[in-house]
């Protein structure tokens, strides 16, 4: 028996779900668990794979019928071959547009359709100042990546005649063989070992890249950081990753992960900004106006009303970050009481003289405690 979850449950659809219900469920779950949205989240990655596997089987009429009949314990073992399901590299764009059908329909077609060969994706971190979240910017970075060798145009061969089709796989890069599994036979497809899956052999290697067809190259990549961007966002630069082997297939993508430097006093909550404003007892009691510079260019004027308490907040709508659901977010100012660090003799004397007026009234202390508790409980 297999401990795997039921494919219908994985997609959250009923056993008689229609094709389009299955597709809809898959798209929505795949978007939720996509690695781009859940960086470094192993659980999301597992779910992403499970959802793909369930969709691969249930979207294929033939496989779905077999699954309905036998469940996970199909005669002949996993339909994905001895290694089981390995996951598919789907971009998040594909989940919004079209294109997923053709990727999935290739899985059970026995390798007749050539697998897409792609260069490796690259991931780099890029720090930006906090100010950029307000303004957005054009950024430029240097990337070291394997690119097609210019001397041989990526072929790896010194001369065009120096490349020949691999005789072991007839240039397909893959080898098919028939395997017996119980009463059933099935087709197994593996990479050709003679040509390492490239489908071609180089007899006269290019001197610059030693037949590899690729070499490390430094290039400048420019990109736009939109205002309101969050830390951890990955910008995808299509085709700016590594070149594929043998100059066939497409280049990988470059992902630029944005890290935003901290602001000296603001914390960020989506498009909202939070800050603490430490004021003395006198300013809280009598009220005051505080003016501080603000990243949007206009000074932030904070009016503190007389009789303010530490813990009170002042909200300044429309002064937060751009890119919020309803336009710009707000700035929330949390008032704090800034106590004197040192009490000098003369200050002690002055404070002592004010005790009767503004000190604690011990006769009504219990009442104040009750009031305070009531306020707190009401929230």
Tally of CB atoms within 10 A around 140: 9
Least distance between Zn ion and beta carbon 190 (Å): 11
**Minimum gap (Å) between residue 167 Cβ and Zn ion:** 8
Measured from the CB atom, the residue of 119 and 323 that comes closer to Zn ion is 119
Site for Zn ion in 205-244 (CB under 5 A): 206, 208-209
- E strands of 68-213, at which residues? 122-128, 137-148, 163-165, 174-181, 184-191, 200-202
- Which range, of 165-173, 294-302, 338-346, 362-370, touches Zn ion by CB under 5 A? 165-173
Residues 64 and 57 sit within 8 Å (Cβ to Cβ): yes
Burial class (CB within 10 angstroms; exposed 0-12, middle 13-18, buried 19+) of 163: buried
102 versus 193: smaller Cβ distance to Zn ion: 193
192 binds Zn ion (CB under 5 A): yes
Stretch that binds Zn ion, among 3-11, 114-122, 137-145, 199-207 (CB under 5 A): 199-207
Among 106, 194, 233, 288, binds Zn ion (CB under 5 A): 194
Cα(127)–Cα(100) distance, integer angstroms: 33
* Binder of Zn ion out of 107, 169, 256, 335 (CB under 5 A): 169
Nearer to Zn ion, 213 or 323 (CB): 213
Q: Choose between 206 and 302: whose C-beta lies nearer to Zn ion.
A: 206
- As a whole number of angstroms, the distance between CA 281 and CA 309 comes to 9
Stretch that binds Zn ion, among 129-137, 204-212, 223-231, 299-307 (CB under 5 A): 204-212
Smaller CB separation from Zn ion, 206 or 256: 206
Kind and range of the H or E element at 366?
helix 365-378
8 Å CB contact between 139 and 154? no
Mark 359-378 with x for binding to Zn ion (rule: CB under 5 A) and - for no binding: --------------------
Interface residue with Zn ion among 152, 260, 279, 321 (CB under 5 A) is: 152
Strands of the 234-237 sheet, one edge to the other: 122-128, 254-260, 234-237
> What is d(CA 315, CA 309) in angstroms, rounded to the nearest whole number?
15
Q: Which distant-in-sequence residues (6+ apart) come within 8 Å of 64 by Cβ?
A: 57, 58
Work out whether 146 is an interface residue with Zn ion (CB under 5 A).
no
HSE, side-chain direction, 13 A CA sphere, residue 174: 14
Report in angstroms how near the CB of residue 250 gets to Zn ion at its nearest: 19
- Residue 202 makes contact with Zn ion by CB under 5 A: no
Smallest Cα–Cα separation from 174: which of 166, 164, 163, 182? 166
Taking CB under 5 A as the binding criterion, the range among 93-101, 159-167, 272-280, 333-341 that sits at the site for Zn ion is 159-167
- Say how many residues touch Zn ion, by CB under 5 A: 12
Using the contact rule CB under 5 A, the part of the chain among 17-25, 100-108, 147-155, 284-292 near Zn ion is 147-155
- How far is 343 from 345, CA to CA, in rounded Å? 7
Region binding Zn ion by CB under 5 A among candidate stretches 60-68, 137-145, 190-198, 299-307: 190-198
The 99-118 contact track toward Zn ion, x by CB under 5 A, reads --------------------
Give DSSP secondary structure letters for 228-285. Answer: T--TT-EEEETT-SPPPGGG-SB---EEEEEEEPPPSS-EEETTEEEEEEEE-HHHHH
Among the listed residues 86, 127, 144, 151, the single contact to Zn ion using CB under 5 A:
151
Position 247 contacts Zn ion (CB under 5 A)? no
Footprint on this chain of Zn ion (rule: CB under 5 A): 149, 151-152, 166, 168-169, 192, 194-195, 206, 208-209
């Amino acid at each position: 028996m297999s401990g795997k979850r039921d494919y219908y449950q994985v997609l959250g659809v009923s056993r008689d779900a229609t094709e389009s219900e299955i597709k809809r469920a898959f798209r929505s779950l795949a978007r939720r668990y996509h690695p781009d949205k859940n960086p470094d989240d192993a659980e999301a990655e597992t779910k992403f794979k499970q959802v793909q596997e369930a969709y691969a089987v249930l979207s294929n009429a033939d496989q779905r019928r077999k699954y309905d009949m036998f469940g996970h314990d199909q005669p002949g073992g996993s339909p994905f071959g001895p290694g089981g399901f390995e996951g598919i590299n789907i971009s998040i764009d594909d989940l919004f547009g079209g294109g997923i059908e053709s990727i999935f329909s290739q899985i059970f077609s026995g390798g007749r359709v050539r697998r897409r060969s792609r260069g490796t994706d690259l991931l780099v971190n890029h720090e930006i100042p906090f100010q950029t979240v307000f303004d957005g910017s054009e950024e430029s970075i240097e990337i070291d990546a394997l690119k097609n060798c210019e001397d041989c145009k990526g072929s790896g061969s010194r001369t065009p005649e120096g490349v020949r089709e691999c005789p072991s796989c007839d240039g397909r890069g893959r080898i098919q063989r028939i395997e017996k599994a119980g009463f059933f036979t099935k087709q197994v497809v593996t990479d050709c070992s003679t040509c390492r899956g490239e489908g071609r052999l180089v007899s006269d290697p290019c001197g610059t890249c030693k037949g590899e067809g690729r070499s490390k190259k430094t290039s400048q990549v420019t990109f736009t950081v939109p205002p309101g961007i969050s830390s951890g966002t990955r910008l995808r630069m299509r085709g700016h990753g590594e070149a594929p082997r043998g100059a066939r297939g497409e280049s990988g993508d470059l992902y630029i992960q944005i890290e935003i430097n901290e602001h000296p006093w603001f914390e960020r909550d989506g498009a909202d900004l939070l800050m603490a404003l430490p004021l003395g007892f006198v300013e809280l009691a009598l009220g005051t106006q505080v003016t501080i510079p603000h990243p949007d260019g206009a000074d932030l004027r904070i009016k503190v009303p007389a009789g303010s308490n530490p813990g009170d907040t002042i909200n300044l709508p429309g002064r937060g970050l751009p890119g919020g659901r309803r336009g710009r977010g707000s700035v929330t100012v949390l008032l704090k009481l800034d106590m004197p660090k040192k009490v000098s003799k003369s200050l002690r004397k002055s404070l002592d003289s004010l005790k009767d007026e503004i000190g604690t009234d011990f006769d009504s202390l219990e009442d104040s405690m009750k009031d305070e508790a009531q306020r707190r409980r009401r929230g």
